[in-house]
A and B are shown apart, each in its own frame.
Chain A
Amino acid sequence: MDLLTKFIDTYPVFLKGMLLTFEITIVSIFIAIFIGLFFAFLKISNVKILEWIADLYIFLVRGTPLVVQIFIFYFGLTAFNISDFLAVVLGLAFHNGAYIAEIFRGAIQSIDHGQMEAGRSLGMTKSLTMRRIILPQASRRALPPLGNQFIIALKDSSLASFIGMYELFNVATTHGSLKYDYMSYLLIVAVYYLVLVLFFSIIVRIIEKKMSSSD
């Protein structure tokens, strides 16, 4: 029960770390959704140059390690007096935006072409049909992969520890090195992550259920 004692002794600090992990994840995913939607529209715009811009962005994100991206944002942005928190959040948003762009693009293109035609045949413009008919259906289809991406982002936020943010993983390694007991605190932090992931999985499932009322 040694582990349980350590868990109880340290939970106030870990909860603080968890809160920061939570904040980093939520804010970065929120921004990433807008970035993703924007680049998804570029990709389906049928305008070559816009498609290339989106392709380049996705290539850059997929082709480099996330930790490198976070460091570039950190060293690049903090020079402009931007907080560590914002630098990390923007780095993660930049990264997840590319994956979310692909999720949205796939979801939009998976909607039957007949839906756009039906909207157009009723006199609706392309953008109105996109907004009222295609996007609501596409976002429902995008929800499971989006939930997945959210969980990936949550775990990836541990990389913020490398630039000194005192989030969950950093709390664990700090305790580990202070007490010469890495294993205990790594196991403890794993439990915190598992609980967070479980929590978000349940929320995503509830939203999915709510949105599938028309099936």
Chain B
Amino acid sequence: MSKSIMINIEKLNKSFGDLHVLKDIDMTVKQSEVVCLIGASGSGKSTLLRCINFLEIKDSGLVMIGGEKIEKETHDLNEVRAKVGMVFQHFNLFPHKTVLENVMEAPIYVKKRPKEEVKEEAKALLKKVGLSDKEYVYPSKLSGGQKQRVAIARALAMKPEIMLFDEPTSALDPELVGEVLTTMKELAEEGMTMVVVTHEMGFAREVADWAVYMHEGRIVEVGHPMQLFSSPKEERTKNFLDSVL
């Protein structure tokens, strides 16, 4: 059985004022695939991610999520976002709520599910990311790696079909990167569809099904991470990899 298509993007364009950030992007992500977006800062990879969960609204082109063409005129974007989880570089945990409350917030107030049921699931999710002992702690007391794992649990609490990661380890101290990548790896093994903007080439090589190199708003090269990193076809990809590896 062929896997269904989770994300389909065709001729996507996005500008901020005069700045043309995304130029004719085409991309298809199938179920359970893990895709890594790499490229220099300003290449548009974060904007592409944000267009997938409609934190940014495209100027033109097509964005399909789960086989459905999404337009802001015909869809409640809040419902779409509830199905597409997002993890941010700077965690963006809710500082006035405990770890458990952070995870419970959206299922209770968006899905309006019963509190006790949500609490059980939230606890299970925190156990999964290894933070059972931090349930009643406020985010300010956590390390960066712990914060990011809470953020992952918070996104998973909405039972998303797709998870987006926007440089999830870039703000972390080097010794804390591993624990977050491990959590993401487990998620990938469970079959979650993931799009990850990252500079972690090791993670990309190990976990990603394929990688995308972006430059100045265009997709320059697509390929299996092994092939893309070791023998890039494009000169620009090679230059970029030389500068980061």
Tell me the A residues contacting B by CB distance below 8 Å.
Answer: 112, 114-115, 117-118, 120-125, 128, 132-133, 136-137, 140, 213-215
A127 shortest CB reach to chain B, Å = 11
- Whether B155 lies near A122 (C-beta < 8 A) is yes
Chain B residues near A115 (CB-CB < 8 A): 92, 94
- Whether A118 lies near B93 (C-beta < 8 A) is yes
* Alpha-carbon distance A120/B85, docked complex (angstroms): 10
B-side interface residues, number (CB < 8 Å):
30
- Whether A118 lies near B94 (C-beta < 8 A) is yes
Give the residue name and chain of the A residue nearest to B79 (CB).
A123
Chain B residues near A137 (CB-CB < 8 A): 95-96
Which stretch of B12-20, B105-113, B202-210, B232-240 is in the interface? B105-113
A213 shortest CB reach to chain B, Å = 8
Chain B residues near A140 (CB-CB < 8 A): 96
Taking A121-B86, A215-B140 as given, write out 12 further A-B residue pairs in contact, using a Cβ cutoff of 8 Å, ordered by the A residue number.
A114-B88, A118-B88, A118-B151, A120-B81, A121-B53, A122-B82, A124-B109, A124-B110, A136-B96, A140-B96, A214-B98, A214-B138
* Alpha-carbon distance A120/B54, docked complex (angstroms): 9
* Alpha-carbon distance A136/B55, docked complex (angstroms): 23
Most chain A beta-carbon contacts within 10 A, residue among B53, B109, B154, B155: B109
Give the 10 A-B residue pairs with the shortest CB-CB distance, closest first.
A123-B82, A118-B92, A122-B106, A121-B86, A114-B92, A214-B138, A123-B110, A123-B81, A123-B78, A214-B96
What are 17 A-B contacts with C-beta separation under 8 Å? A114-B92, A115-B92, A117-B55, A117-B88, A118-B92, A118-B93, A118-B151, A120-B55, A121-B55, A122-B81, A123-B79, A124-B106, A124-B109, A140-B96, A213-B138, A214-B96, A215-B140
Most chain A beta-carbon contacts within 10 A, residue among B90, B93, B97, B105: B105
- Whether A121 lies near B85 (C-beta < 8 A) is yes
Most chain B beta-carbon contacts within 10 A, residue among A118, A121, A132: A121
Most chain B beta-carbon contacts within 10 A, residue among A112, A115, A122, A125: A122
* Alpha-carbon distance A49/B169, docked complex (angstroms): 43
B158 in complex: contacting residue of A112, A120, A123, A128, CB < 8 Å: A123
B122 shortest CB reach to chain A, Å = 13
* Alpha-carbon distance A124/B102, docked complex (angstroms): 13
Within 8 A of A (CB), among B101-137: 105-106, 109-110
* Alpha-carbon distance A132/B105, docked complex (angstroms): 9
A124 in complex: contacting residue of B53, B78, B83, CB < 8 Å: B78
A129 shortest CB reach to chain B, Å = 10
Give the residue name and chain of the A residue nearest to B140 (CB).
A215
Tell me the B residues contacting A by CB distance below 8 Å.
Answer: 53, 55, 78-79, 81-86, 88, 90, 92-98, 105-106, 109-110, 138-140, 151, 154-155, 158
* Alpha-carbon distance A2/B79, docked complex (angstroms): 75
* Alpha-carbon distance A115/B93, docked complex (angstroms): 7
* Alpha-carbon distance A215/B109, docked complex (angstroms): 24
- Whether A121 lies near B81 (C-beta < 8 A) is yes
* Alpha-carbon distance A125/B90, docked complex (angstroms): 21
Chain B residues near A136 (CB-CB < 8 A): 96
- Whether B95 lies near A128 (C-beta < 8 A) is no
Give the residue name and chain of the B residue nearest to A132 (CB).
B109
* Alpha-carbon distance A125/B78, docked complex (angstroms): 6
A14 shortest CB reach to chain B, Å = 42
Chain A residues near B88 (CB-CB < 8 A): 114, 117-118, 121
A112 in complex: contacting residue of B92, B97, B109, CB < 8 Å: B92
- Whether A128 lies near B110 (C-beta < 8 A) is yes
Q: A122-B154, A123-B81, A123-B82 are in contact. Are A128 and B109 (CB under 8 A)?
A: yes
Chain B residues near A132 (CB-CB < 8 A): 105, 109
Chain A residues near B79 (CB-CB < 8 A): 123
- Whether B106 lies near A123 (C-beta < 8 A) is yes
A122 in complex: contacting residue of B98, B110, B138, B139, CB < 8 Å: B110
